[in-house]
């Protein structure tokens, strides 16, 4: 791989051991995947933040690093609300370790914004064709697919290395030729809201790590595409998808995708079977929404649905602190019902929900991950159904 004089110096260790290790990781990945250079990135998102997922080994690794990130860098959700962890049953020992992890990241110049929706944050705007190094699978999918930016599926160490160097190796989804769809998915009935999470759950299993192009009856909203991508990245390993006539690369006059030879269609019965999970005799003892973290529009919808009512079950709404802070009225309206708006974390990476036995979610991704990551049953429903369950109206 070609390296500039400055990059060569960094690789020799002239700029310190941390930067040397970081560029070694980038160069090793670049060599494996055939990159011919490093390219500047606009921002980074580092996953592997929760003490639940990285443990003491992760904390030690981050604490040993020295230096400062060169681009705006955000963290994936941590294992708890960083300000209000007691009210979601986090124990003192876990909180102490989690705060140490956050401090170790802060020492590297990373702001303690912990979210899987960095694209809602000030300073993290993403433009078409921007190069990024993001780590959380739903954020990667959203950036690549909905925003038309370019990021590989970065692991914690590679995203952090890219943040410290301000660059990443130019391979994979950074190259236009690797962004071409190779499986065609038709859906010839209308979908709305959480149907997109169910579609993603079904489609991800079908396509694995391919690049699907969807043909839909109408254009989905951005939040619906967020749900679709998140679920496909969880039940499969989809990091980029296209929707014909909707996502930016299908609208770019300089790009023309041939229709893939491999074609499938998804039937309504397949979507219905995901919702059928909620007909189980096991009743949810907790309801959560906000996977990926809620947008303002999603918070408004929840506030409208709970208005004037009181929950009878634990109901947690996950969002980023920045979105919550900018919308105090929505947070207050939701919390008036007894629901909790929880920031910096989520139902999957926090141990907070572990004492419950069945979680209802409106997210295809959470539906896929909760059993394995939290050791409890998950059932899937629309946001209306989730709210009804929490209110005891179901």
* Interacting residues toward ligand SF4 by CB under 6 A: 76-77, 116, 136, 138, 230, 291-293, 318, 346, 348-349, 365-366, 369
**Identity of the residue, 202 or 231, whose beta carbon is nearer to ligand SF4 in the bound complex:** 231
CB of 216 to ligand SF4, least distance (A): 22
**Identity of the residue, 10 or 158, whose beta carbon is nearer to ligand SF4 in the bound complex:** 158
| Burial call 37-57: b when 16+ CB within 10 Å, e when fewer | ebeebbbbbbbbbbbbbbeee
Tokens of residue 103, six digits: 């401090």
CA distance 63 to 52: 17
CA distance 240 to 228: 11
**Identity of the residue, 10 or 73, whose beta carbon is nearer to ligand PMV in the bound complex:** 73
DSSP symbol at 347: T
CB of 367 to ligand SF4, least distance (A): 10
**Identity of the residue, 38 or 342, whose beta carbon is nearer to ligand SF4 in the bound complex:** 342
183-186 sheet: strands from edge to edge: 242-243, 212-215, 183-186, 263-265
Residues in the chain: 394
CA distance 349 to 246: 32
Among 137, 158, 247, 319, interactor with ligand PMV by CB under 6 A: 137
**Identity of the residue, 101 or 323, whose beta carbon is nearer to ligand PMV in the bound complex:** 101
Stretch that binds ligand PMV, among 15-23, 41-49, 158-166, 188-196 (CB under 6 A): 41-49
- SS3 of residue 294 by DSSP: coil
CB of 389 to ligand PMV, least distance (A): 23
Residue 281 half-sphere exposure, CB side, CA atoms within 13 Å? 0
Stretch that binds ligand PMV, among 48-56, 125-133, 158-166, 282-290 (CB under 6 A): 48-56
Site string for ligand PMV, 200-239 (x = CB under 6 A): ---------------------------------x------
Could you give the angle at which helices 156-165 and 51-63 cross, rounded to 10 degrees? 40
**Identity of the residue, 134 or 173, whose beta carbon is nearer to ligand SF4 in the bound complex:** 134
Q: Tokens 């030690």: give the residue.
A: 60
Q: Is 136 in the site for ligand PMV (CB under 6 A)?
A: yes
Q: Tokens 């947690």: give the residue.
A: 316
- Residues making contact with ligand PMV (CB under 6 A): 47-50, 53, 76, 116, 136-137, 233, 348-349, 369
């Amino acid at each position: 791989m070609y390296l500039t004089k400055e990059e060569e110096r960094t690789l020799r260790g002239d700029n310190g051991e941390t930067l040397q290790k970081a560029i070694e990781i980038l160069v090793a990945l670049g060599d494996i995947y055939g990159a011919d250079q490093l390219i500047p990135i606009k921002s980074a998102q580092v996953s592997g933040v929760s003490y639940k997922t990285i443990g003491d080994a992760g904390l030690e690794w981050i604490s040993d690093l020295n230096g400062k990130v060169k681009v705006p860098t955000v963290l994936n959700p941590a294992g708890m609300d960083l300000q209000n962890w007691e009210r979601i049953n986090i124990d003192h020992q876990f909180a102490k370790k989690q705060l140490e992890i956050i401090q170790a990241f802060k020492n590297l110049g990373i702001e303690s914004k912990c979210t899987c929706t960095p694209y809602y944050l000030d300073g993290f705007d993403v433009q078409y064709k921007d190069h990024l190094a993001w780590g959380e699978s739903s954020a990667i999918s959203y950036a690549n697919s909905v925003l038309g930016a370019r990021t590989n599926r970065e692991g914690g160490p590679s995203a952090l290395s890219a943040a410290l160097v301000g660059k990443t190796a130019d391979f994979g989804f950074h190259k236009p030729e690797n962004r071409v769809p190779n499986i065609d998915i038709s859906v010839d009935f209308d979908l709305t809201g959480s149907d997109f999470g169910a579609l993603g759950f079904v489609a991800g299993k079908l396509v694995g790590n391919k690049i699907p192009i969807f043909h839909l009856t109408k254009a989905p909203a951005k939040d619906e595409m967020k749900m679709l991508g998140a679920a496909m990245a969880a039940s499969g390993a989809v990091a980029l998808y296209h929707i014909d006539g909707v996502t930016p690369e299908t609208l770019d006059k300089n790009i023309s995708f041939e229709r893939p030879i491999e074609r499938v269609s998804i039937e309504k019965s397949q979507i219905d079977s995901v919702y059928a999970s909620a007909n189980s005799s096991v009743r949810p003892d907790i309801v959560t929404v906000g996977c990926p973290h809620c947008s303002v529009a999603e918070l408004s919808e929840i506030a409208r649905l709970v208005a004037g009512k009181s929950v009878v079950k634990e109901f947690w709404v996950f969002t980023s602190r920045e979105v919550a802070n900018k919308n105090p009225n929505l947070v207050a309206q939701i919390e008036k019902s007894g629901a909790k708006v929880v920031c910096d974390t989520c139902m999957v990476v926090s141990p907070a929900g572990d004492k419950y036995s069945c979680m209802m979610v409106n997210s295809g991704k959470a539906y896929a991950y909760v059993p394995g990551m939290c050791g409890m049953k998950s059932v899937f429903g629309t946001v209306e159904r989730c709210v009804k369950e929490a209110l005891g109206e179901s």
